[in-house]
C-alpha cells in the first residue's frame, strides 16, 4: 500500500515527528517498523483481514482504542465523512501537544483532506511521496472544536430508510439497500430450515429478511469482516421479535469457517479489492460456503452478471442453476455440495463489499 510506505518513509526522514512516547496507529497495517515500538504501540483495526495480518506479524490490535497518546498515526479510508471523523477521533485520543500524522493517497483526495485539517488545526507540515501526501499537526487548544464535533456527527451510526435500519458512512451501500441483495431476497424461499449462515453480512439486510420471513430456521450465524458493520447488524437483528437470536462473527470468510456446518448459506460476496475488481474474492466465498455445508445443503448467492462463478458452482455442487437475473445481477443456487478443491488463500483482502 503506497500510503503505508509513504508514512514510514516520512517517519524515517522527518526527525521533528516525535516517536519516543506512546503511539496509536489508527487503521493500522502490518509493517516491519512496528516492532521497534513494541510496548508503546497500540494498533486499532476494525477490518478483520488486516487485524489477522497484524497478528501474524506478532503485533496485537484492538477494535477500539482507549486512553490518550503522544503520537497518532492515521491511514484514513477513502470516504470523505469517515476521513474527517477520523481526524476528530485522532484529536480526542491525542495528549495535549501530541502530533497527528496522516498518510493518504492523492487519488483519495489527499490535498483536499489536508486543507480540511489545516482549517481546523492551523499550521501543517507536508511531504509528498509515491503519489501520496503525508501531513502532520500538533494538538493545541486552538483546534476548532465546533467543526470537530460536526465531523464526528457526520460519520456516526444512525437510522436510515425511514428508521427501519441502523447504518453508518463508510459501509458498503450504507444508506440504501444494495440492488443485488434486493434481488436475492425476491428469490430466497421462505421454507429455509435448520442452521443458516450469512457470509459477508454487512449491516444485516439479508439476515433481517431471513429472521422475519423464514420461521423454520433453527439458528443464524452472521459473518462479517468489518466490525463497524457488525455492530450495525447487531442492532438491526437484535430487536426482531423472533425466537432465533443470531450469532455474530467478526471473521474473514476467505479463510474458511473454522469447521462450522450449515444447512443453508446465503451471501452477497465482495468483488473488489480496494478499487480493483477481483472475482477471486467471490470464488473464495463460494469455496468456504461449500466446505461448510452439510450433505444436501444449499447455497444462495447474488453476483454481478459478468462475474465468472458458474464453473466453480458446477465443481462445488451436484446441481446448480441461475434462479433469477436482471440487467445487472444474477441469483445462483447450488445444492448438495460435492468435493471441493481447496483454493489457495492469498494476502488478506481489502474488499469492502460485504454487502447489506
Q: Do 164 and 211 reside in the same domain of the chain?
A: yes
- Sorted by sequence, the CB contacts under 8 Å of residue 173 that are 6+ apart come out as 202, 355, 356
In 3D space, the residue among 301, 279, 300, 299 whose CA is nearest the CA of residue 340 turns out to be 299
Give me the tens of pLDDT residue by residue for the chain, a chain 356 residues long: 899 999 999 999 999 999 999 999 999 999 999 999 999 999 999 999 999 999 999 999 999 999 999 999 999 988 999 999 999 999 999 999 999 999 999 999 999 999 999 999 999 999 999 999 999 999 999 999 999 999 999 999 999 999 999 999 999 999 999 999 999 999 999 999 999 999 999 999 999 999 999 999 999 999 999 999 999 999 999 878 888 999 999 999 999 999 999 999 999 998 755 545 567 899 999 999 999 999 999 999 999 999 989 999 999 999 999 999 999 999 999 999 996 444 433 333 444 444 44
How many CA atoms within 13 Å lie on the side-chain side of 214?
26
The total number of structural domains that make up the chain = 2
Question: What is the per-residue pLDDT for 277?
Answer: 53
Question: What is the per-residue pLDDT for 206?
Answer: 97
Q: Do 172 and 245 reside in the same domain of the chain?
A: yes
Query: In the numeric block, which cell numbers belong to residue 215?
Result: 420461521
Q: Is 58 left (phi over 0), alpha (psi -120 to 50) or beta?
A: left
Helix (H, G, I), strand (E, B) or coil at 122: coil
Q: How far apart are CA 109 and CA 115, in angstroms?
A: 10
- Residues 315 and 336 sit within 8 Å (Cβ to Cβ): no
Question: What is the per-residue pLDDT for 272?
Answer: 52
Q: Do 66 and 100 reside in the same domain of the chain?
A: yes
Query: In the numeric block, which cell numbers belong to residue 83?
Result: 476521513
Question: What is the per-residue pLDDT for 278?
Answer: 64
Q: Do 181 and 110 reside in the same domain of the chain?
A: no
The answer to the question of residue 208 being in a domain is: yes
In 3D space, the residue among 102, 86, 79, 64 whose CA is nearest the CA of residue 352 turns out to be 79
Residue 141 CB neighbour total at 10 angstroms: 6
Helices 179-187, 205-213: crossing angle, 10 deg rounding: 20
Range of the domain at 215: 158-337
The answer to the question of residue 343 being in a domain is: no
Q: Are strands 23-26 and 69-74 parallel, antiparallel or unpaired?
A: parallel
Q: Do 149 and 189 reside in the same domain of the chain?
A: no
Amino acid at each position: 500500500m503506497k500510503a503505508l510506505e509513504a508514512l514510514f518513509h516520512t517517519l524515517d526522514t522527518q526527525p521533528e515527528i516525535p516517536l519516543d512516547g506512546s503511539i496509536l496507529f489508527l487503521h493500522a497495517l502490518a509493517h516491519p517498523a512496528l516492532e521497534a515500538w513494541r510496548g508503546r504501540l497500540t494498533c486499532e483495526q476494525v477490518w478483520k483481514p488486516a487485524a489477522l495480518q497484524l497478528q501474524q506479524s506478532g503485533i496485537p490490535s484492538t477494535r477500539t482504542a482507549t486512553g490518550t497518546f503522544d503520537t497518532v498515526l492515521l491511514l484514513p479510508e477513502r470516504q470523505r465523512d469517515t476521513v474527517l471523523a477520523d481526524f476528530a477521533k485522532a484529536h480526542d485520543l491525542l495528549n495535549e501537544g501530541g502530533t497527528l500524522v496522516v498518510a493518504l493517497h492523492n487519488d483519495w483526495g489527499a490535498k483536499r483532506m489536508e486543507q480540511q485539517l489545516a482549517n481546523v488545526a492551523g499550521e501543517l507540515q507536508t511531504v509528498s511521496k509515491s503519489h501520496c501526501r503525508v501531513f502532520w499537526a500538533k494538538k493545541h487548544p486552538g483546534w476548532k472544536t465546533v467543526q470537530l464535533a460536526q465531523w464526528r456527527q457526520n460519520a456516526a451510526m444512525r437510522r436510515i430508510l425511514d428508521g427501519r435500519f441502523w447504518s453508518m458512512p463508510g459501509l458498503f451501500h450504507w444508506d440504501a439497500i444494495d440492488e443485488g441483495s434486493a434481488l436475492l431476497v425476491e428469490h430466497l424461499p421462505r421454507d429455509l430450515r435448520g442452521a443458516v449462515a450469512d457470509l459477508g453480512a454487512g449491516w444485516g439486510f439479508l439476515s433481517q429478511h431471513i429472521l422475519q420471513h423464514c420461521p423454520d430456521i433453527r439458528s443464524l450465524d452472521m459473518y462479517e469482516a468489518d466490525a463497524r458493520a457488525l455492530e450495525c447488524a447487531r442492532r438491526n437483528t437484535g430487536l426482531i421479535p423472533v425466537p432465533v437470536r443470531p450469532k455474530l462473527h467478526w471473521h474473514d470468510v476467505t479463510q474458511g469457517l473454522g469447521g462450522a456446518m450449515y444447512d443453508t448459506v446465503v451471501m452477497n460476496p465482495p468483488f473488489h479489492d480496494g478499487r480493483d475488481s477481483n472475482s477471486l474474492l467471490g470464488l473464495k466465498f463460494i469455496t468456504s460456503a461449500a466446505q461448510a455445508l452439510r450433505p444436501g445443503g444449499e447455497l444462495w448467492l447474488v453476483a454481478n452478471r459478468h462475474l465468472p462463478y458458474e464453473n466453480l458452482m458446477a465443481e462445488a455442487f451436484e446441481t446448480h442453476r441461475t434462479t433469477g437475473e436482471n440487467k445487472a445481477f444474477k441469483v445462483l443456487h447450488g445444492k448438495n455440495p460435492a468435493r471441493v478443491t481447496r483454493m489457495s488463500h492469498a494476502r488478506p483482502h481489502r474488499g469492502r463489499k460485504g454487502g447489506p
